[in-house]
Structure 1
Amino acid sequence: MLSRYLLFLIVIAPFPAIAETGKPSYISPPPVISTESTLQMMGGLLLVLALIGGITWLLRRYSLIPTATAGVVKVVATTGVGQRERVVIVEIDNTWLVLGVAPGRVNKLHAMTKPTNEASVPISHGSSPSPVFAEQLNQSIKKENA
């Protein structure tokens, strides 16, 4: 019986040596569009869109986008007095209107004639236009009350 097993092992022994051990000749290339590259592209696109939206929001928030002055109405100055409230000076013809602007509502606070260029003091680098405007507004209010 031992001889049968020995004969069987001798016959089977050459089969692994005959088996093909070489590499296949065709290797498939890696995929061109992978999940990683698609996610990277989408992330970059979202980053650019968020950057554009953020810059636009900042420009609107701080009124850095110039508005076109067409027609008779011209915005002379504006300032924020609250989170959503603003005081706006609008020039119509030779009249300045001081308007209080809030969401869904615009109120006329004051009306005055447009100051002449000779009467206004030129603004230097260190001074702000607020004192000049405040003086003109006080003078105009005193004229109306008198």
Structure 2
Amino acid sequence: MGQWGWAAEKTKPDDGLGVSALAQVALSLLLVIAAIAGLAWLVKKMQHFQPMSQSSMRVVASLALGPRDRVLLVQVGEQQVLLGASPGRINMLHVFAEPVIEADTATTTGADFSNTLAKLLKQKSS
């Protein structure tokens, strides 16, 4: 090697990121994203399960009025309360003296609740 011999030697640059390392990072990232998505799905499903306690308050029926507004019939102890719920606000609409719908046999379909609510409003206005 001559005077510039050290510069003439070809060395392979070591970039540290081979194909296998890149594939391993991508696979790890996919596994983390899949785990986050799976946990989010599980948490969403677990919110639908209510504890099996004897709570003195429960939703007997509900009716969607729009994409964000609902009317709820809530059983509190022995009374039923009609609530209007919208994002960030809940208003008490009416407190019924006697139960409108039996909490044990209540159906949560909107059609039954809307028919019952319409009948009650007609009785109230007459």
Normalised to the residue count of structure 2, the TM-score between the two structures is 0.57
Spell out, residue by residue over 1:7-52, the C-alpha distance to the aligned partner (whole angstroms, 9 max, x if none).
xxxxxxxxxxxxxxxxxxxxxxxx9x72211221211221231243
Matched, 1:35 2:16: no
The one of 110, 118, 121 equivalent to 2:94 is 110
Instruction: For structure 1, list consecutive stretches of 5 or more residues without a partner in the other structure.
Output: 1-30
SS of the residue corresponding to residue 73 of structure 2 reads strand
Indicate the residue corresponding to 2:66 in structure 1.
82
Matched, 1:95 2:90: no
Alignment of 1:127-142 (within 5 A): 130-131=111-112, 134-135=115-116, 138-139=119-120, 142=123
C-alpha separation in 2, matches of 1:102 and 1:133: 18
Classify 1:141/1:71 alpha carbon distance in 2 versus 1 (closer, same or farther; 3 Å): farther
C-alpha separation in 2, matches of 1:55 and 1:76: 25
Kept in 1, the 8 Å contact 2:64–2:110? The answer is: no
Identical-residue share of aligned pairs (%)? 17
Cα offset, 1:86, TM superposition: 1.4
C-alpha separation in 2, matches of 1:55 and 1:92: 30
Classify 1:136/1:129 alpha carbon distance in 2 versus 1 (closer, same or farther; 3 Å): same
Q: Which has the higher contact order (CA 8 A, sep 6+)?
A: 2
Matched, 1:65 2:61: no
Instruction: For structure 2, list consecutive stretches of 5 or more residues without a partner in the other structure.
Output: 1-17
Alignment of 1:39-58 (within 5 A): 39-54=26-41, 56-57=43-44
C-alpha separation in 1, matches of 2:25 and 2:68: 42
Spell out, residue by residue over 1:93-113, the C-alpha distance to the aligned partner (whole angstroms, 9 max, x if none).
221111000122111222222
Letter in 2 for 1:103: P
- More divergent stretch after superposition (93-102 vs 80-89): 80-89
Q: How many residues align?
A: 103
SS of the residue corresponding to residue 34 of structure 1 reads helix
RMSD: 3.6
Greater C-alpha radius of gyration: 1
Letter in 2 for 1:67: Q
